[in-house]
Structure formats: structure tokens, C-alpha cells
Chains A and B, each alone.
Chain A
Amino acid sequence: MENKIYNDDSSREEFIEKYDKGTHFIGRLSTAVCTVLFCGAPFVIGIYLGAMPDLSAAAKGYLSVGLVWTVSSVVEFLVYTPMLGAGGGYLAFITGNLINMKIPCAMNAREIAGTKSGTTENEIISTLSIAASSLVTILILAGGVMLLIPLQPILQSEALQPAFENVVPALFGAMAYQYYRKNLKLALVPLVIMTILYLFVPSLTSQTSLMILPSGALTIGLAYLSWKKKSGKEGRS
């Protein structure tokens, strides 16, 4: 394989363009293949075992919940894609577990590597972190499947169920500390507003993935005002 050193601006641009094109090509191809495999698997199993479900009943069932999930999916795509970048986006949407694994992983990798959002370096770090996370997940799942029987008493243990049910709060508690302590003023407003909203409209707690959009938009709006104020001050001085 040819290895080049890109040390001037034009060859760097050339590399970035090539990298972008390659990422989108591989990403789209893998997404198309995985979509066909994911959607096809139930049909293949159903036909092979002669146990196809009633498709009209399945379609009705999908319609009753599908609309909500469609809106939620659009929101998730709009919110998560800028955080994940191109390569990371394709990988994360294929492998899933975005909120409890891929997003925190990409954000943490970005923090450790010290890359700035919107840069090519950040795009590469994000893709690498999500790829590593996906590979580790697959390895652990493969190990888990092979050890399913000996692990069954642990996995089904009633005493451990609260731990498995609270993975996301544990993750967000740790991440909240990391981000809130550096941006306390910015974090307080969305936290208070979202809490008030959930207190008065408790049914929204089941739609948290939809509430990410207004919460994120509000925080970005506040951050923009504060950034503009800061840049204005720096410009004047």
C-alpha cells in the first residue's frame, strides 16, 4: 500500500478530499449491505422455519409505534451526526448503542486527544474511537454468547438487575461532572428548564430522545450568545 507524507497545504487538501470520498463510499456501501441484512434476516428465518408472521398485522403494529420512532430517528440523526462526523456516523448508526456508548466514546476521545470540533483531526479521532468501541463491543458480545450458559446465573440475577438498568444514569453522571464543572453557568439553564418541563409534563420522560433537540438547541443558543459576547470583547481589546 502506498504511504505518502502530506506536509504541504495542497497535498493535505488532496488527502482530505480523498479521505472524505472514501469514507462516504465505504460508509454508504456498508450501510446499504447492513440495511438489507438487518431487514432480510427476519424474513429469511420466517420463510426457512415456516413461521412467517401475519404481515398486515405487523404493518399495523409498525404504524402505531413507527411514527413516533420515525420522528425520534430524524432528531437523533440531526443531533448525533455533527458529533460523530462522517465515518463515525456511518459506523455508529450501523452498530447502534449511540447514546450509551458511541457518543460518550467519541466525546471522551475528543477530550483526551484535544482535537477541535469541525477539524479533520477530530473527524479521524471520532471514527477511530467509534471503530474501537464497536470492535470491543463485538468481542465482548461474542465472548458473552459463547459463555451464555455459565454466565446465565449472573446475567439473570435479580440482585444485579438494578445495575444493568442504570448503565445510562451512571454514564451520564460521570460525563455530566466532566462537562458541567467546566461550563457550570451554561449547564444550569437547560438542566433547570428541562427539569421543570418534566416535573409539569411527566409523560415527556418517556420521550427523552425527542427532548434532546429542544434542550440542545437551547444550550447551543445560550452558548452562541456567550461566545459572541466573548469574541466581541476580545475583538475590542
Chain B
Amino acid sequence: MVLSFFFNKSYLKKLQGRKESGEADAKNKKEGFGDTAMTAMFIGLVSAYMGSYIGSFVSGKGMFTFQGDITPIIVAVVSALVMAVFTYFAEKKHMVWLESFSIAGSMLIGMIAAVLI
């Protein structure tokens, strides 16, 4: 919060160059790097967490002992599979309305999987 108070404006201003080029690219209907960078950052963020779940299971209780908690991995996999089903129906069966419920539905089923394990 404190960092946000002091640096939000100046930090975003520093990124302004990218913002302006992003707007220009959007106008030109050409994909700019700003959008790719944002997606990449998010993929990096998700990968950091996914890696930590695998690392915790494999080496969490001693290196390569496979004695750690496997629940987060199973939950993530179940959630991803349910998301795949939602995406299939939304894209292939044209049930676009499902998209609004896909994340919430996948999360709920993933969490139910955690209870059932």
C-alpha cells in the first residue's frame, strides 16, 4: 500500500512508453509486445506456483523422497481438466455462456477433489 501510494504513478509513467506503443499497436490492429509481456508475466507467476507444488511433493520432506503433500497437484490437475471440459463445450459446442462460470466451476470441482482425496 505504501509503495502504491508513493510509486504507482511514477512506475506506471515509466511503463508509459510501452503503453503508448501498445495503444498505437492496438490502433494498427498489430499485436504489440505489451500484451505478450503481460501474458508472459502471468505464465511466469502460474509456473512459479505450479513448480512449488511439484517441488513440495517431491522434495518437501527430504530431497526426492516423494513424501510431501500431493493434494495441491491433484487439485490443480482436476481443476485444469474441468476447465478443459468447460472450454470444449464453450468453443466446440458454442455454449459461450459457460465461459462466465468456467473458472468458478473448475475451482469448485478442484476443491471438492481435495475433500475426496
Contact = CB atoms under 8 A, between A and B. Distances in A.
Contacts of A169: 49, 53, 71-73, 75-76, 79, 110
Given A178-B87, A199-B58, A216 B45 contact: yes
Contacts of B41: 79, 82-83, 216, 219-220
A86 B10 CA distance: 10
B80 A174 contact: yes
Interface residues of A, number: 84
Given A82-B15, A166-B111, A177-B84, A24 B8 contact: yes
A97 interface: no
Nearest to B2: A35
Interface in B30-53: 31-53
Given A169-B75, A174-B79, A220 B55 contact: no
A44 interface: no
A42 to B, nearest CB: 16
B40 A117 contact: no
Interface residues of B, number: 76
A197 B55 contact: yes
Contacts of B64: 199
Contact of B4 (A90, A178, A220): A90
Contact of A183 (B12, B18, B43, B50): B43
A85 B59 CA distance: 37
A200 interface: yes
A215 to B, nearest CB: 4
Interface string B53-81: 11110111001100000011101111111
A118 interface: yes
Contacts of A175: 42, 46, 103
A174 to B, nearest CB: 4
Interface in B97-117: 99-100, 102-103, 106-108, 110-112, 114-115, 117
Contacts of A116: 22, 25-26, 31-32, 34-35
A173 B23 contact: no
Interface in A145-172: 159-160, 162-172
27 contacts: A27-B4, A31-B1, A32-B5, A35-B1, A112-B99, A117-B38, A119-B26, A166-B75, A169-B75, A170-B76, A170-B78, A170-B114, A172-B79, A173-B79, A173-B80, A181-B87, A187-B43, A190-B43, A194-B55, A197-B55, A198-B51, A202-B55, A202-B56, A204-B55, A215-B44, A219-B43, A224-B33
Interface of B: 1-5, 7-9, 11-12, 15, 18-19, 21-23, 25-26, 31-56, 58-60, 63-64, 71-73, 75-84, 87, 99-100, 102-103, 106-108, 110-112, 114-115, 117
What 6 pairs across the A-B complex have the smallest Cβ distances? A198-B55, A118-B22, A194-B51, A173-B79, A173-B76, A170-B110
